[in-house]
Amino acid sequence: KGEGDTRSEAGEVEVETLCSVQTDFSPDALQKAVRVSVDHSLLATGGADGFLRLWEFPSMKKVREFKAHDGEIEDIALGPENKVVTAGRDFHCCVWQRDQLVLRLRWDENMPGVPDKTYRYQACRFGAVPDQAEALRLYTVQVPHKRGRRPPPCYLTKWDGKTFLPLLTQPCGGEVVSCLSVSDSGTFLGLGTVTGSVAIHVSFSLQVTGCWAPGGGGAPCGRGCLAGGGGTLQGPCGSWALRQLHPGQGPVPGLARGAA
């Protein structure tokens, strides 16, 4: 380059509005979750009015809508056989097939020491099972409904992705988890917290295998979480950390990719 040449080496991305639709009809009109099907033909949205809405893409023609929760929908997971899992602030995590309720998950069914309605579901994700092509797992995160001076831990639960029976539950720390990611291979789980930290767990045992904390002034993690001070974390924290541990994996057949 010659003197004074200030051309940027970074690529440019152009964003164009193709279509705009209203996806939540609560007084605040707050959309909280979006999922994109693996073939990019379908969008699922959920928000503060508790309705799950499915849209054709890219036409954004509404395919289906129904009341999934009494209150906000926190997260959505798209699975095979037209199944959808929704996590709501009404203490329920529901499995749907089209607009029919299949069942409500009970993560604490075998934990008698947990009082009713002390935890709510915060996140849900499907994931592949390493070396088992036909197997599928569902992962959910449960966070305390109320925070006190000595807050109880959050919990991470693994479910059979076909029968939806709970397989394993482990505590995952005292910081409130705000987002969950699963590596494309299904080997690792990434948890982002409201303080900006990230923990990587092994899917087999749900044990933590690594942690990242933001530099000074880190921002909370969310579905589009911000970088910590000094650029310690870049992009959505869970996805970023998973890519460092397990880069180069292709998409999981039959599953949906999330869209922040």
- pLDDT at residue 243 is higher than 60: no
Half-sphere exposure of 181 (CA within 13 A, CB side): 29
For residues 167 and 141, is the Cβ–Cβ distance under 8 A? no
Over the stretch 178-216, which tens digit does the pLDDT of each residue have?
999 999 999 999 999 998 899 999 999 999 998 887 764
Residue type, 152: P
Indicate the pLDDT class of residue 62, thresholds 50, 70 and 90: very high
Count how many residues are written for the chain.
260
pLDDT at 80: 87
Over the stretch 66-116, which tens digit does the pLDDT of each residue have?
999 999 999 999 998 889 999 999 999 999 999 999 999 999 988 878 888
pLDDT at 237: 47
Contacts with 163 (C-beta within 8 Å, 6 or more apart), sequence order:
none
Class at the top of the CATH hierarchy for domain 105-249: mainly beta
Q: How many CB atoms lie within 10 A of CB 97?
A: 12
The answer to whether the bond into 58 is cis (omega within 30° of 0) is yes
Q: Distance (Å, rounded) from C-alpha 101 to C-alpha 121? A: 17
Any idea what DSSP says for residue 226? P
Q: Distance (Å, rounded) from C-alpha 215 to C-alpha 74? A: 28
Label residue 196 left, alpha or beta by phi (over 0 means left) and psi (-120 to 50 means alpha).
left
CA geometry: angle 38, 44, 49, nearest 5 deg: 165
- Least confident range of 11-20, 202-211, 232-241, 249-258: 249-258
Q: Distance (Å, rounded) from C-alpha 121 to C-alpha 126? A: 15
Over the stretch 106-152, which tens digit does the pLDDT of each residue have?
999 888 788 888 999 999 999 999 989 889 999 999 999 987 777 89
**Structural domain spans, the chain:** 105-249
Of 155 and 235, more confident: 155
Over the stretch 6-59, which tens digit does the pLDDT of each residue have?
555 667 889 888 889 999 999 988 999 999 998 899 999 999 999 999 999 889
